[in-house]
Chains A and B, each alone.
Chain A
Amino acid sequence: MNRIARMLALLPISFLAVFFLYPLATILSRGLLGDGADPMATLGSASLWRVAWFTLWQAALSTVLTTALAMPGAWVLAHRRFRGRALVRAGAVVPFVLPTVVVATAFSALFASLGVDDGPISLAQSTAAIVMAHVFFNYAVVLRTVSTVWERLDIGLEDEARMLGATPWQAFRMITLPRLAPAVLGSASIVFLFSFTSFGVVLLLGGPRKATLDTEIWRYATQRGELDVAAVISVLQLVAVIGTLVLSTVFQHRYSVREPTRGVSRARRAVGTRQHVAQWLCLTSIAVVLGGPLVALVERSFRTSGGYGLASYRSLSAGEGRISVLPQSASEAVTNSLWIAALAALIATAAGLGAAVVSQRGGPLGSLTEAAYLLPLGTSGVLLGLGFLLALDDPPLDLRTSWILIPLAQALVGLPFVLRAVLPVIASIDERLREAAAMLGATPTRVWRAVDLPAIWRATLMGAGFAFAVSLGEFGATVFISRPERLTVPVAIFRLLGRPGTAAQGQAMALSVILMALTTVSILVVERVRPRGSDGW
């Protein structure tokens, strides 16, 4: 590697060092060595442990429910061929990339439509609401991970077990389930992490009395201005997250099974009444879990005082005057969000691609880069936001008043998606192709252009698309560093939902529908460029 390549290799790791490791280190030092508040006093408070306990059990409950509800859907996607299968697969991922504020708004809309938003059986501001939203949000994680693995399992082995005397249920439990275990455990631990660090959903659906570690961090940092307490809670949250990651890795390793290599088994059409009924029950389960809240959201956004209409949408446009509670108009917010997300996707893709190339070259720098880049995966947006707030607001880096912080934070949130798309593809390139190209006289740059680039451009586009979609809806980090003159759509929705009155609620729902549409379109584009045979996200 020549000197220029060496310098280039340092770029992605320096980006991570300045905008991820440095803020995180600042939180740690403020939390552990802070002089403003005694960390022990914070950690000794009973109310903090009540919050921690609630964070833990609502996450555990969300995880169990999500996994249980997603299994029938995963089965039908893996084993049944039916019209619209690809559409269901692609559509199922939409809730996962939906902004948390949209998810929260959708559930408010659903409760209102079902008439359980107040009165004797009210779900508003309840734990049930939070858990339901987590199930909705994370359903696709289990659905897609498990169905991809399930599809590749040799289901002939179940027949084998049947012939050795197993009932259909025994064959599933003793033969298929153990081989699905790594995928189930893996996706369940991701669901647990997301539910554990959930912020927007808890903030908007839980009301003031339901608090998790992440909402407490936000409350202490922005509402009460006690940054040191926020840093201490962050340390606690980080320890829990790292513990979960370690446990999940250990368990996945223990249950991992090497399947014999074989092609993807073909899903079959349902035959006979029983199989059709089973198929439709499973598809209905997907539709109910994923469709209900979205339908309610769209329905509510069109509701007016006297029936249905575009009143809520019209009131968003600048022509009818600014929304009083917002510093900028809704259309300005949409423009801001699109620009910021595009910039964030660009940064994330450049950094991710750089890191992937460096890590592929191997060596100590390569493995270090790869390890460092997987870190942001487990870090919640709130922690990133707090880190930016603490670390980047005084010299040497005073960016507090700069809107550039927003795309930078969003790029960090989008980065793992770029890596997850690109890294496996780079790893799968046959080294012999590179050798063959080199033996034919190609320079290293030429080899990269001839062999690597054609293989990874689709994956790169896919990763960029995901980063864009995720950035569009990013809320946890953005809400910390949001600038009044650079209002983003999720923050605008959050502000609107905080206002009483049906007009603001209607506007929030209309804006949510717009955001959902933008996100969905980017995901559908991603599905178009998805490399054949790629799984995951």
Chain B
Amino acid sequence: MVGDRRLEIRGVSVRFDRLLAVDAVDLAIEETEIVALLGPSGCGKSTLLRAIAGLQPVDSGSIVYEGVDLAPVPPHQRGMGLMSQAHSLFPHRSVAENVAFGLELRGLSGEQRRLRVEAMLASVGLAGYDARRIDGLSGGEAQRVALARTLAPGPTLVMLDEPMGSLDRELRERLAVDIRRTLRAEGVSALVVTHDQDEAFTIADRVAVMRAGRVVQVGTPIELRRAPRSTFVAGFLGIDTFVDVVVSAEGEFDIGGLVLRRPDWPAGPAIAVVPPEAIVIGGAGAVTAEVSQQRFRGDHFVTDVLLEGTRLVMNLVEPRREGNAVVVSIDVDRLARVDG
């Protein structure tokens, strides 16, 4: 994954009147790397994308693309692709004419254009759609056409703004996998904006979590899950169990009566982030907990258990009655520590 820097963002800020929409963001994208910008709506993700594209003036900081400072370069000369949110196809052009748009501007001959359009439509799984009208496409098809159009001129970096935004849940998962495969096949770097962590984890090599205009943590999906740096990041990744603890000099602390030990944690008050996968049945030093509630998720049950009054969440394959006992222990290596 490590290659040359394709895009480097240094201290970029964008201000709307009094609101700092993007606040001193640093971010780098390597060659052929796919990075997801993950955050709640209104956190500045799309604004950052538009700033990189040159569609939004930057108030401070610099954006360097393949070694060139982009400040004086207008959007159409930046050589990157941007795929915006839903409904971004040109309604007066057919599918093939949409995909060919960027190729026309680069002066490709009719035959060259036709070959490239065919190849692009095939690579997004829409071979034979050339003559279709835009208003007859389903949401998923429209997004594939938009992706083909973005990739057709051969940009070295593409930015996708909520590429699965308006689609059904089931369709999103499939499209996310296809988008990743297509981006890989084209060998481009990509920056993908999303508010959905599943989507981010499916598509991206690394994920940058944004909150209120700032990038609060960057890492691979596994790094983020294992070591979220704040309850915000943990919460955004779907972990909602946080326990206040006091870590002793030896690294010992207590959760629901279980004495746990992490020698690498500094002493003092802290918050332990407890993901469901940290609570396991049985194991060393297991104790009895009480099942308080279960929610069926198809292939597993999200189960709330009470451990001496402390509520923890774990995943169980089997159903349990409320009030039943379950013998559990905590896999201490799965815990993360954030400052209280």
Interface positions of A (Cβ within 8 A of B): 154, 156-157, 159-167, 170-171, 174-175, 178-179, 257-260, 262
Of all chain A residues, which has the CB nearest B152?
Answer: A164
Complex CA gap A259/B135 in Å reads 8
Complex CA gap A258/B134 in Å reads 9
Of all chain B residues, which has the CB nearest A258?
Answer: B135
A164 and B105 contact, CB distance less than 8 A: yes
Of all chain A residues, which has the CB nearest B102?
Answer: A164
Separation in Å of the A276 CB from the closest CB of chain B?
A: 15
A165 and B106 contact, CB distance less than 8 A: yes
Given contacts A160-B82, A170-B105, contact A165 B88 (CB under 8 A): no
Write out, one digit per residue, whether chain B residues 206-250 have a CB within 8 A of any chain A CB (1) or not (0): 000000000000000000000000000000000000000000000
Q: Which of B74, B81, B88 contacts A156 (CB 8 A)?
A: B88
A163 and B80 contact, CB distance less than 8 A: yes
| Chain A residues positioned under 8 Å from B82 (CB to CB) | 159-160, 163
Of all chain B residues, which has the CB nearest A182?
Answer: B92
| Chain B residues positioned under 8 Å from A262 (CB to CB) | 87
| Chain B residues positioned under 8 Å from A257 (CB to CB) | 91-92
Shortest Cβ-Cβ A-B pairs, 8 listed: A164-B102, A163-B82, A165-B105, A162-B75, A257-B92, A260-B87, A178-B92, A258-B135
Of all chain A residues, which has the CB nearest B53?
Answer: A163
A179 and B76 contact, CB distance less than 8 A: no
Given contacts A163-B53, A174-B101, contact A259 B76 (CB under 8 A): no
Q: How many A-B residue pairs have CB under 8 A?
A: 68
Complex CA gap A163/B76 in Å reads 5
| Chain B residues positioned under 8 Å from A170 (CB to CB) | 76, 105
11 additional contacts (CB under 8 A) given A163-B76, A164-B76? A156-B84, A159-B84, A160-B84, A162-B54, A163-B78, A163-B150, A164-B105, A165-B102, A167-B74, A258-B135, A260-B134
Separation in Å of the B163 CB from the closest CB of chain A?
A: 14
Q: CB of B90 within 8 A of chain A? A: yes
Q: CB of B55 within 8 A of chain A? A: yes
**CB<8 Å pairs between A and B, sample of 27:** A157-B88, A157-B90, A159-B53, A162-B76, A163-B55, A163-B76, A163-B78, A163-B81, A163-B82, A163-B150, A164-B81, A164-B101, A164-B102, A164-B105, A165-B76, A166-B105, A170-B105, A171-B76, A175-B90, A178-B92, A179-B91, A179-B92, A258-B135, A260-B91, A260-B134, A260-B135, A262-B87
| Chain B residues positioned under 8 Å from A161 (CB to CB) | 90, 101
| Chain B residues positioned under 8 Å from A260 (CB to CB) | 87, 91, 134-135
> How large, as a class, is the contact surface on chain B?
20 to 34
| Chain A residues positioned under 8 Å from B54 (CB to CB) | 162
Complex CA gap A163/B75 in Å reads 6
| Chain B residues positioned under 8 Å from A166 (CB to CB) | 76, 101, 105
| Chain B residues positioned under 8 Å from A179 (CB to CB) | 91-92
B153 and A164 contact, CB distance less than 8 A: yes
Of all chain B residues, which has the CB nearest A256?
Answer: B92
Separation in Å of the B239 CB from the closest CB of chain A?
A: 35
Complex CA gap A304/B142 in Å reads 69
Q: CB of B149 within 8 A of chain A? A: yes
| Chain A residues positioned under 8 Å from B84 (CB to CB) | 156, 159-160
| Chain A residues positioned under 8 Å from B92 (CB to CB) | 178-179, 257
Separation in Å of the B144 CB from the closest CB of chain A?
A: 16
Separation in Å of the A268 CB from the closest CB of chain B?
A: 11
Given contacts A156-B84, A174-B101, contact A162 B55 (CB under 8 A): yes
Complex CA gap A159/B88 in Å reads 10
| Chain A residues positioned under 8 Å from B105 (CB to CB) | 164-166, 170
B91 and A258 contact, CB distance less than 8 A: yes
Complex CA gap A259/B91 in Å reads 6
Complex CA gap A160/B90 in Å reads 9
Separation in Å of the B258 CB from the closest CB of chain A?
A: 54
Write out, one digit per residue, whether chain B residues 176-218 have a CB within 8 A of any chain A CB (1) or not (0): 0000000000000000000000000000000000000000000
Complex CA gap A167/B53 in Å reads 14
Of all chain A residues, which has the CB nearest B149?
Answer: A164
Of all chain B residues, which has the CB nearest A170?
Answer: B105
Of all chain B residues, which has the CB nearest A167?
Answer: B76
Separation in Å of the A278 CB from the closest CB of chain B?
A: 16
Complex CA gap A245/B90 in Å reads 29
Of all chain B residues, which has the CB nearest A259?
Answer: B91
Separation in Å of the A256 CB from the closest CB of chain B?
A: 9
Complex CA gap A165/B54 in Å reads 12
Complex CA gap A175/B97 in Å reads 12
Separation in Å of the A261 CB from the closest CB of chain B?
A: 9
Complex CA gap A163/B92 in Å reads 18
Complex CA gap A174/B93 in Å reads 10
Of all chain B residues, which has the CB nearest A161?
Answer: B101
Given contacts A161-B101, A163-B82, contact A154 B55 (CB under 8 A): no
| Chain B residues positioned under 8 Å from A259 (CB to CB) | 91
Separation in Å of the B87 CB from the closest CB of chain A?
A: 4
| Chain A residues positioned under 8 Å from B134 (CB to CB) | 260
| Chain B residues positioned under 8 Å from A156 (CB to CB) | 84, 88
Of all chain B residues, which has the CB nearest A262?
Answer: B87
B153 and A165 contact, CB distance less than 8 A: yes
Complex CA gap A281/B77 in Å reads 28
